[in-house]
Amino acid sequence: MKKGEFLYEGKAKKIYRTDDPELYLVEFKDDATAFDGVKKDSLADKGILNNRLSAIFFELLEEKGVETHYEKTVSEREMLVKSLEIIPVEVIVRNIAAGSLSKRLGIPEGTVMKKTVLEFSLKDDELHDPMINHYHIYAMDLAEPEEMAEIEKVALRVNELLVPYLRDKGITLVDFKLEFGRHGDKILLGDEISPDTCRFWDSSSQEKLDKDRFRRDMGGVVEAYREVLRRLEGGE
């Protein structure tokens, strides 16, 4: 598969065309950003780790019947994916109060939610990804009701699959962000699933194993990502 025209660069990835119009190449970068890009750094091997971790999660979900954009890993930093028309609605799935939810609602961080919470935000860096609801989504023509119904069903299914999977690895899935896109007449899960987009806590110590280590100047960011990968790959 030949890498073609450069299409887009985001905070953590670069996207390229390939010689197949139905497939894109995603290159994971070492860049780390927080607070809408105000805080930036480069963390050696972060892109390699997120590429591998995302592949593990996508392969697991595909095995369980969740359709994703993932095709295969082609190098330590690159994966081949189906081309998507991204729906500009980010879906946040929350099992435990943390981050912005704690700040907005005054719920102490670490509080287990009585019911899984789904939140939506507009995918727009310039507007700082503001929270939106179904009324906004339909008024702005971001997605159709049947598309949102499918997105919500898949988001909850992903949660149902990943919570026990990670629990067996000694990891608590606190919350995570998902993105979806249109591929023909299908809605597919896209983007990535990694410590950049999820909150992972050690089940025993509650130690953070995710991007919050970067956001909060805790240090040990790459080491935490490596630890997640070690557990997922069955390391002792």
111-144 pLDDT, tens digit per residue, is 999 999 999 999 998 999 999 999 999 999 999 9
Report whether 131 contacts 119 (CB < 8 A): yes
pLDDT greater than 80 at residue 218: yes
Spell out the domain ranges in the chain: 3-82, 87-220
Q: Which two tokens stand for residue 177?
A: 């962000």
Sign of CA dihedral 66, 24, 179, 13: positive
* Residue 206 pLDDT: 97
Average predicted confidence (pLDDT) for the chain: 96
Beta bridge partners of 73: 79
pLDDT greater than 60 at residue 236: no
* Residue 58 pLDDT: 98
CATH number of 87-220: 3.30.470.20
Q: DSSP characters for 28-40?
A: E--EEEETTTTEE
CATH fold of 3-82: Phosphorylase Kinase; domain 1 (3.30.200)
Q: Which of 230, 235, 190 is nearest to 67 (CA)?
A: 190
Q: Rg for the chain (alpha carbons), in Å?
A: 17
Q: Which residue has the tokens 């907005």?
A: 104
* Residue 37 pLDDT: 65
